[in-house]
Structure 1
Amino acid sequence: MSWLQLHLDTQADNAEHLEQLLLNQGALSVTLQDNADQPLLEPGVGETPLWDATKLSALFPQNTDLENLLDALSQELGHALPSYDVERVVDEDWERRCLDDFSAMQFGQQLWIVPSWQTPPDPNACNIILDPGLAFGTGTHPTTAMCLEWLAVNPMNGLSVIDYGCGSGILAIAALLLGAELAICVDNDPQALMATVANAEQNGIDASKLLTCLPEALDKTLKQQFGSIEHGCDLVIANILAGPLIELAPRLVNLPRDGGQIMLSGILSEQCSAVNAAYASAIAMQLPHSTDQWIRLNGQK
């Protein structure tokens, strides 16, 4: 079986109207994609911004009359169609194709991220079994990879860790498997917390060593674990984005103990100075570490 896929180039202000026209003409699905390599970072709550140059890809049944479809769209628009091209899409096992694209990754000498359907390349290493899912964090993105690289080469034995914006829980799980004693995973997305718990269970993490909570419940969790919210932990990790890192700075700088460490990631090169400044009064930052356009900051309280 195959499908007909129509790709149309348009602008952000026309994209939603054109999407609706395609659906009205029988499109099975419409996908909107960036058409000019324009990153959209940190949208506001409730916002769904589109790229200035947007490509719409509409999937139609294979027996669709292409000429009639194009004529109908042109008549609905009231003018000639924007630039377009057409392709035939052959049926595939898309799940298997996605799985094939995700393979084991090494960080440092001893840490591996391994999908559950693969045999660990080094059975004696610290292997995190992790499959791609809805929650952010598999090690493929530079922001997560830089954090994993740091964890892999720094002593974790006996540490207490807060992973703020935990996503899949990959960083907290890595810290625990590398020797940390306790990890508190915080996220404002309940689905991320569920993913974290499931991934921890898959990796044999004792439930008493990995705790999850929403941001508003963190103080209660800290008090239950340490007897006081002022106790502080050994390491705070926040792999989110520059805007939230700056906004949360007053909160995050109070989470490490005196002498404790903080690791911040999800920062673009041009945002580094602003993030650094937000933490400068409480944290002695080291020189930034960069991969591609992304920055990781490490410091000590």
Structure 2
Amino acid sequence: MPWIQLRVHTTEKHAETVSDMLMSWGAQAVSFVDAQDTPIYEPLPGEVIYWANTVVVGLFDAEHKMDKVIKQLEQVSLFKNGVQYKLEQLEDKDWEREWMDNFHPIRFGKRLWVCPSWRDIPDPTAVNVMLDPGLAFGTGTHPTTALCMEWLDGQDLSAATVVDFGCGSGILGIAALKLGAKRVVGVDIDPQAIEASLANATRNGVSGQIELYLPKDQPSLQADVVVANILAGPLAQLSAVISAYVKPGGWLALSGILESQAQSVIDAYSAEFEFDPVAVKEEWVRLSARKKQ
């Protein structure tokens, strides 16, 4: 189906109002785009933050009467100095197929590969994680996930118990099991992440070794290895919870952190952990540390 995209420039204060108007006028979907490349690093779970200068993007059926929408938009009082907008026709594509065609097998470290479930395995002798991201984040393409995968590839996980805190698609926990871990406990605030992790674990034949929980149900245990790829703010705020999962002498890997945020996260854990040198990839970092005995 062909689509028309309406981009409306507004402010942080009015972004939600403009979104509601576009939906009421027939938009099939609405998204928000930064108008001036001002980064927002870490909204908390459930928090929505808009940019000072926001573009609200409404997606309409190409047959929709856009002249009527524009007329309504121009009459809105909050645009008293005139409305800035742009109409764009989107190419009619099979967007799911387009995304699938651009997702390729990725290698991490010496032995670990992540392969889309619809592609051939490049190296059958390697440690291969077959992944369908589905409803949750985590394909290995983002630097933070890649940093964690490379770290896992370099660990001896034989018979280890691993906690994947913020498991998303399950990619880190499944990789740990494929690399020799005995048991993985995955925790995430999103029920869809639990669903995606279970589906991916089943696809990889490790569903019997992974336990998945929402935070309210998370068990009390101490693991050999804990990985948490979320955001710097929650990592610092939840340091007591995450630290408690690591047994004395166990290992911790943290990511989802920008270089400028690394020290604040280190400070939140340094009383209990001794940190390795920081690993950096495209302005993102991974912190790894061993818990003091």
For normalisation by structure 1, the TM-score amounts to 0.88
Secondary structure at 1:8's aligned position in 2?
A: strand
- Partner Cα separation in structure 2 for residue 14 and residue 107 of structure 1: 43
Give the number of equivalent residue pairs: 290
Residue equivalent to 1:288: 278
Which 4+ stretches in 1 moved above 6 angstroms?
Answer: none
Q: Structure 1 counterpart of 2:239, which letter?
A: A
In the alignment, is residue 268 of structure 1 matched against residue 258 of structure 2?
yes
- Partner Cα separation in structure 2 for residue 259 and residue 204 of structure 1: 30
- Partner Cα separation in structure 2 for residue 26 and residue 96 of structure 1: 26
Quote how far apart the aligned CAs of 1:179 are. 0.9
Q: Structure 2 counterpart of 1:270, which letter?
A: S
Quote how far apart the aligned CAs of 1:272 are. 0.9
Q: Structure 2 counterpart of 1:146, which letter?
A: L
In the alignment, is residue 168 of structure 1 matched against residue 169 of structure 2?
yes
Residue equivalent to 1:177: 178
Residue pair 1:265, 1:295 contacting (<8 A) in 2 also: yes
Residue deviations 1:52-110 (CA, integer Å, cap 9, x gap)? 12112223343455555433321234646433222222321111112112111110121
When the two chains are superposed, the root-mean-square deviation of aligned CA atoms in Å is: 2.1
- Partner Cα separation in structure 1 for residue 25 and residue 215 of structure 2: 45
Residue pair 1:289, 1:297 contacting (<8 A) in 2 also: yes
Larger Rg: 1
- Partner Cα separation in structure 2 for residue 57 and residue 256 of structure 1: 44
Quote how far apart the aligned CAs of 1:44 are. 4.1
Q: Structure 2 counterpart of 1:281, which letter?
A: A
Identity of aligned residues (%): 42
Residue equivalent to 2:197: 196
Residue equivalent to 2:104: 103
Give the 3 Å change call, closer, same or farther, for CA 10–154 of structure 1 in structure 2.
same
In the alignment, is residue 243 of structure 1 matched against residue 233 of structure 2?
yes
Quote how far apart the aligned CAs of 1:266 are. 1.1
Q: Which moved more, 1:291-300 or 1:79-88?
A: 79-88
Residue deviations 1:206-254 (CA, integer Å, cap 9, x gap)? 50x212223343345x3xxxxxxxxx32111111111221122223223
Quote how far apart the aligned CAs of 1:126 are. 0.9
Residue equivalent to 1:41: 41
Quote how far apart the aligned CAs of 1:294 are. 1.1
For normalisation by structure 2, the TM-score amounts to 0.90
Quote how far apart the aligned CAs of 1:145 are. 0.6
Give the 3 Å change call, closer, same or farther, for CA 25–259 of structure 1 in structure 2.
closer
Residue pair 1:35, 1:55 contacting (<8 A) in 2 also: yes
Residue equivalent to 1:228: none
Give the 3 Å change call, closer, same or farther, for CA 68–204 of structure 1 in structure 2.
closer
Q: Which moved more, 1:61-70 or 1:151-160?
A: 61-70
Q: Structure 2 counterpart of 1:110, which letter?
A: R
Residue pair 2:8, 2:83 contacting (<8 A) in 1 also: yes
In the alignment, is residue 32 of structure 1 matched against residue 8 of structure 2?
no
Residue equivalent to 2:5: 5
For structure 2, list consecutive stretches of 5 or more residues without a partner in the other structure: none
Residue pair 1:33, 1:54 contacting (<8 A) in 2 also: yes
For structure 1, list consecutive stretches of 5 or more residues without a partner in the other structure: 223-231
- Partner Cα separation in structure 1 for residue 30 and residue 152 of structure 2: 41
Residue equivalent to 1:83: 84
